[in-house]
C-alpha cells in the first residue's frame, strides 16, 4: 500500500453553522490486491473524523503491515484512513471481478444515475435565493440549505424566500449542523412545516438523541448526521431518533461500512442518504457507488465536486439535470494511473 498526500483549495467554500470549509487535504492510497492496483482516498475532516496527522500515522502504520492493512485501521478511531485503504481494496476487488463497484456490492442491480441535492451554504436571504435558483435552473429538483448560522427568525425568512423563488415543486431540505437548542428546533420545525421542508439534518447537538426523537412525528423529518459520526448506529436505532440517516463513507470507515448501514437503516424504515465530506474525485466516486447500490435511493448530497478549484483526476460521474451518472467500467470508474496529487 502506498500513501501520497494532496491538498486541494475550494473555489467555492462551504459556509456552515460549524464554520467554513475552504480547503481539503488528504491522501491517495494505492493497493495491490488480486492482481489489480486499486485506488482509494483518505480525506479527513477534523470534527467529523480523525485529524490529518492521525490519518497519516494510521496509514503509515497500516502500509507496513504486509497483509491485512485494513485490520490495523479501526473505523471508530481513524475512519478516514480506513476509508482510504478499504476503497483501494474494493476498487481492486471490483476490477478483478470485472464489475462496477456498486454491482460488486449487489450484482443484480443496474443503475445509470442517482438523484442528487444541490448544497447551498449559509448566506443572506438574497445569496441563498440566488444559489438555490441557479441550482434549480440547472435541473436540481432538491436543494439542501445550510441553516443554524443565524437566528431561527432569519433562517425562516431565508427558507421562505427560497420557497417563493423556486416554487412548490422543488424539494427543500435544511441542515443545522447541530446548532439549535431544543426550543429553537421546535420553533424552526413549526415554521418549516408550512414551507414544505422535507427534513432537517442534525437540528440538535450530536449527543441529544432523546431530543431528536421528540422532534419526530410532524411533517418535517429528522435526519441524523453528526450523531452517527459520534454514536454507534445501534444507539441511534434504539433511540428511535431518526427518519433519515446521513451516510458519509469517509466518516463511517469506508464504502462497505456505509453500504451495510444503508441496508440496516432500510430494514428499520429509516431512509439512507449518502453524502460526501466535500471530497476529491476518488472518494466522491466511492460514495456514488454506495448510493447506486441502494434501490430507489433518495436524492443524495453528492454534487459537491464543483466546489473544488482542482481535482485529482477528471470526474467520470458527471452531474446533469440534478442526476449523477454512475460509471459503468470496472471498479470505481477512474484509472488509478490517472489519479495525480500534483494535478
Ligand atoms: O449533503 C450535502 O449536500 C453535501 C455535504 C455536506 O453538507 C457536508 C459536507 C462536509 C461536511 C459536513 C456536511 C454536512 O452534511 O453537514
Ligand atoms: Mg449534515
At which of 98, 132, 166 does a domain end?
Answer: 98
Q: Which set of grid coordinates corresponds to residue 155?
A: 433562517
User: CA dihedral in degrees (70, 72, 74, 77; nearest 10)?
Assistant: -130
When pLDDT is cut at 50, 70 and 90, the band that residue 10 belongs to is very high
Residues 332 and 87 sit within 8 Å (Cβ to Cβ): yes
* 84 and 215 part of one domain: no
* 19 and 137 part of one domain: no
- What pLDDT shows up at residue 69? 82
- Rounded CA-CA distance 174/176 in Å is 7
**63 in a domain, yes or no?**
yes
* 90 and 174 part of one domain: no
**106 in a domain, yes or no?**
no
- What pLDDT shows up at residue 66? 59
Q: Is the pLDDT of residue 20 over 90?
A: yes
* 253 and 331 part of one domain: yes
* 182 and 317 part of one domain: yes
Q: What is the mean pLDDT of the chain?
A: 97
- Nearest atom in ligand 1 to 276's CA: 5
Give the model confidence (pLDDT) of 168-198 as tens digits. 999 999 999 999 999 999 999 999 999 999 9
* Annotated catalytic residue 248: yes
List the CATH number of the domain containing 170. 3.20.20.120
Active-site residue among 146, 173, 191, 289?
Answer: 146
Give the model confidence (pLDDT) of 97-153 as tens digits. 999 999 999 999 999 999 999 999 999 999 999 999 999 999 999 999 999 999 999
**121 in a domain, yes or no?**
yes
CA 220 to ligand 2 centroid distance, Å: 16
Give the model confidence (pLDDT) of 285-341 as tens digits. 999 999 999 999 999 999 999 999 999 999 999 999 999 999 999 999 999 999 999
Ligand 1, atom 9: closest residue by C-alpha: 277
**150 in a domain, yes or no?**
yes
How many C-alpha atoms does 156 have within 13 Å on its Cβ side?
A: 14
**39 in a domain, yes or no?**
yes
* 133 and 253 part of one domain: yes
**343 in a domain, yes or no?**
no
* Annotated catalytic residue 144: no
* 121 and 217 part of one domain: yes
Ligand 1, atom 4: closest residue by C-alpha: 301
The count of structural domains within the chain is 2
- What pLDDT shows up at residue 229? 93
* 182 and 126 part of one domain: yes
**206 in a domain, yes or no?**
yes
The ipTM is 0.99
* 156 and 288 part of one domain: yes
Q: Is the pLDDT of residue 238 over 80?
A: yes
Residues 291 and 245 sit within 8 Å (Cβ to Cβ): no
- Rounded CA-CA distance 9/194 in Å is 38
In DSSP terms, 114 is beta-bridged to 324
**105 in a domain, yes or no?**
no
> In terms of DSSP bridges, do strands 244-247 and 221-224 run parallel, antiparallel, or are they unpaired?
parallel
Residues 195 and 224 sit within 8 Å (Cβ to Cβ): no
Considering only residues 72 and 303, tell me which one the structure prediction assigns the higher pLDDT.
303
At which of 51, 70, 98 does a domain end?
Answer: 98
In order of 45, 224, 255, the CA distances from 73 in angstroms are 17, 25, 14
- 192: domain range? 113-338
Residues 79 and 46 sit within 8 Å (Cβ to Cβ): no
Q: Is ligand 1 within 6 A of the CB of residue 304?
A: yes
Question: Hey, which of 117, 275, 300, 306 would you mutate to test ligand 1's pocket, going by the most ligand atoms within 8 Å of its Cβ?
Answer: 275
Segment 226-244 mean pLDDT = 95
At which of 58, 74, 98 does a domain end?
Answer: 98
Binding residues: 175, 201, 225
* 78 and 120 part of one domain: no
- Rounded CA-CA distance 9/21 in Å is 10
- Nearest atom in ligand 1 to 146's CA: 7
Which ligand neighbours the alpha carbon of 283 most closely?
1
- Matching residue, cell 471508530: 76
**Cβ contacts of residue 295 below 8 Å, gap of 6+?**
109
Segment 239-262 mean pLDDT = 98
CA 337 to ligand 2 centroid distance, Å: 33
- Alpha-carbon dihedral sign for residues 6, 7, 12, 14: positive
* 75 and 138 part of one domain: no
Binding residues for Mg(2+): 175, 201, 225
* 153 and 206 part of one domain: yes
Helices (H), the chain: 52-64, 79-96, 101-105, 125-137, 152-166, 182-194, 209-215, 226-230, 233-238, 249-252, 255-267, 281-292
Percent of the chain with pLDDT over 70: 99
Active-site residue among 82, 83, 163, 248?
Answer: 248
List the CATH number of the domain containing 11. 3.30.390.10
In order of 9, 171, 213, the CA distances from 118 in angstroms are 20, 10, 27
Question: Hey, which of 8, 10, 14, 19 would you mutate to test ligand 1's pocket, going by the most ligand atoms within 8 Å of its Cβ?
Answer: 14
Amino acid at each position: 500500500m502506498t500513501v501520497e498526500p494532496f491538498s486541494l483549495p475550494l473555489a467555492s467554500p462551504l459556509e456552515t453553522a460549524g464554520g467554513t470549509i475552504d480547503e481539503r487535504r488528504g491522501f491517495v492510497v494505492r493497493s495491490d490486491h488480486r492482481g489489480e492496483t486499486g485506488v482509494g482516498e483518505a480525506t479527513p475532516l477534523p470534527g467529523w473524523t480523525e485529524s490529518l496527522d492521525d490519518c497519516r500515522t494510521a496509514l503509515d502504520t497500516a502500509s507496513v503491515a504486509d497483509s491485512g492493512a485494513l485490520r490495523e485501521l479501526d473505523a471508530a478511531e481513524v475512519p478516514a484512513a480506513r476509508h482510504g485503504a478499504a476503497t483501494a481494496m474494493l476498487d481492486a476487488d471490483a476490477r478483478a471481478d470485472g464489475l462496477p463497484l456498486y454491482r460488486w456490492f449487489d450484482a443484480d442491480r443496474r443503475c445509470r444515475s442517482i438523484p442528487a441535492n444541490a448544497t447551498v451554504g449559509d448566506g443572506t436571504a438574497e445569496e441563498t435565493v440566488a444559489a438555490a435558483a441557479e441550482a434549480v435552473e440547472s435541473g436540481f429538483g432538491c436543494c439542501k440549505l445550510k441553516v443554524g448560522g443565524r437566528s431561527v427568525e432569519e433562517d425562516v425568512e431565508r427558507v421562505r424566500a427560497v420557497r417563493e423563488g423556486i416554487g412548490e415543486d422543488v424539494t427543500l431540505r435544511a441542515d443545522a449542523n447541530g446548532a439549535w437548542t431544543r426550543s429553537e428546533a421546535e420553533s424552526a420545525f413549526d415554521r418549516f412545516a408550512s414551507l414544505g421542508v422535507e427534513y432537517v439534518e442534525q437540528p440538535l447537538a450530536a449527543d441529544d438523541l432523546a431530543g431528536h426523537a421528540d422532534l419526530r412525528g410532524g411533517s418535517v423529518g429528522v435526519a441524523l448526521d453528526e450523531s452517527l459520526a459520534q454514536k454507534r448506529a445501534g444507539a441511534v436505532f434504539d433511540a428511535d431518533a431518526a427518519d433519515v440517516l446521513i451516510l458519509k463513507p469517509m466518516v463511517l470507515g469506508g464504502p462497505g461500512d456505509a453500504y451495510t448501514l444503508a441496508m440496516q437503516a432500510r430494514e428499520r424504515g429509516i431512509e439512507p442518504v449518502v453524502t460526501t465530506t466535500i471530497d476529491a474525485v476518488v472518494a466522491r466516486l466511492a460514495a456514488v457507488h454506495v448510493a447506486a447500490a441502494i434501490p430507489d435511493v433518495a436524492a443524495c448530497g453528492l454534487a459537491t465536486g464543483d466546489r473544488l478549484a482542482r481535482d485529482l483526476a477528471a470526474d467520470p460521474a458527471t452531474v446533469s439535470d440534478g442526476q449523477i451518472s454512475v460509471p459503468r467500467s470496472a471498479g470505481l470508474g477512474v484509472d488509478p494511473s490517472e489519479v495525480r496529487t500534483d494535478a
